[in-house]
Amino acid sequence: MSKPVTIRDVKVILTAPEGINLVIVKIETSEPGLYGLGCATFTQRYLMVKVAIEDYLRDFLIGKDVANIEDIWQSCMVNSYWRNGPALNNALSGVDMALWDIAGKRAGMPVYDLLGGKTREAAAIYRHADGKSVGEVEENVRKFMEQGLLYIRCQMGGYGGRIHEIQTPKGALPGAYFDPNAYMRDTVRLFEHMRSKVGNEIELLHDVHERLAPIEAVRLSKNLEPYRLFFLEDALAPESVDWFRIMRAQSATPIAMGELFTHPQEWLPLITERLIDFIRCHISTIGGITPAKKLAHLCEAFGIRTAWHGPGDVSPVGHAANLHLDLSSANFGVQEWWGPTEIIYEMFPGTPELRQGYIYPSDKPGLGIDIDEALAAKYPCDNTQSIRPTGWTTARTPDGGSWRP
């Protein structure tokens, strides 16, 4: 019987090549030259993830057999006793993805083959078209259409539609102010314009980002019905998911949910009661590939498709993991894509490539992606971006009240 390959060391690599704090985990093994990479990116609290890995998980993991992915996931999840939080889940994800990467490299196979093989050759993606007016949004949509995209998310003025001058009380605190009522009216007007100009051949999406009171989110969902959205994303906050029963009863607009989920009890009722149409979890925040594949299978049984979270605060390693799940899942829907810059492809060779509306994997063993650690060190993280008082996570309504971002 051959000697098992074990974990020799666990390292954390922090880098911000595009000004967004990324956390990469590197697991080195007892086999010389064999290592794996995983995404543990919790941008807003990245140092908490670093501490969780270096000061707690590292010593717990050293010496374990890299083949025991499921047991390592389960034991890491409960080792701290308290569980299902974003910092610890991201730390676990970095380990989990790195172990899947190692498993693929040892087998000489891409991870998607270990997950059951391809169900498609590439994954359809959507990108974000924003603007300060309906005309500017249309212009940006047409640019993506010229690039071959079939799915485009439309926003006007960012989350909450921050294009109006807002009268606030004297002494109101700083923040990212928005007017919920104006945002809702403008969003309906935006999609009325878009359908009249680009027709029904392109799939259009929209992200509410929790910016409305539950009853107003229901109203928006109903008002957008005539414009046949591919989906309406995060119409409600995780704390308000019971409202999906009311929304489903009153509107046929497809619903995507899950970006902020960290606990299975947040998504289980929505899936088993068929209250959503797309699951949108941030893979690293639920703990990596291991739970995500199980979640995809659960969704398949209830007719729900995947649309994993894929903005700039998912590292290229995380995007590669998303793609392996997309390719191996029969119930794949669409994949969010942020549009990497040249520095990303230089720092992370093997980053998936976009061609005519679809992203393709590198097809190398494992996740098919690597990192230039020397180059990554030249782009250090900046903790001040996590605590700036006027950032988009400090949303406020016109009267100055704090709101879900």
pLDDT on residue 384: 82
Buried b or exposed e, range 265-274, using 16+ CB within 10 angstroms: ebbeebbeee
357: how many CB neighbours lie within 10 A of its CB? Answer: 20
Q: pTM of the full predicted structure?
A: 0.96
Which residues face 256 on adjacent strands? 233, 278
Kindly name the residue from 35, 112, 126, 159 that is annotated as catalytic.
159
The token pair at 320 is 């590669």
CATH code: domain 114-363 is: 3.20.20.120
The token pair at 14 is 């922090």
pLDDT on residue 402: 93
pLDDT on residue 162: 86
pLDDT on residue 113: 98
Q: How far is 152 from 228, CA to CA, in rounded Å?
A: 13
pLDDT on residue 165: 86
The token pair at 47 is 């140092």
| 164 among known catalytic residues | no
Q: How far is 271 from 33, CA to CA, in rounded Å?
A: 42
The angle subtended at Cα 151 by Cα 338 and Cα 309, nearest 5°, is 40
| Residue spans per domain, the chain | 114-363
| 209 among known catalytic residues | yes
Q: How far is 132 from 103, CA to CA, in rounded Å?
A: 47
pLDDT on residue 243: 97
Written as tens digits, the pLDDT of the chain (405 aa) is 689 999 999 999 999 999 999 999 999 999 999 999 999 999 999 999 999 999 999 999 999 999 999 999 999 999 999 999 999 999 999 999 999 999 999 999 999 999 999 999 999 999 999 999 999 999 999 999 999 999 999 999 999 998 888 999 999 999 999 999 999 999 999 999 999 999 999 999 999 999 999 999 999 999 999 999 999 999 999 999 999 999 999 999 999 999 999 999 999 999 999 999 999 999 999 999 999 999 999 999 999 999 999 999 999 999 999 999 999 999 999 999 999 999 999 999 999 999 999 999 998 999 999 999 999 999 999 988 666 656 888 999 999 999 988
Are the C-beta atoms of residues 115 and 96 closer than 8 Å to each other?
Answer: no
Kindly name the residue from 128, 206, 209, 282 that is annotated as catalytic.
209
Nearest alpha carbon to residue 380 among 8, 106, 15: 15
pLDDT on residue 164: 86
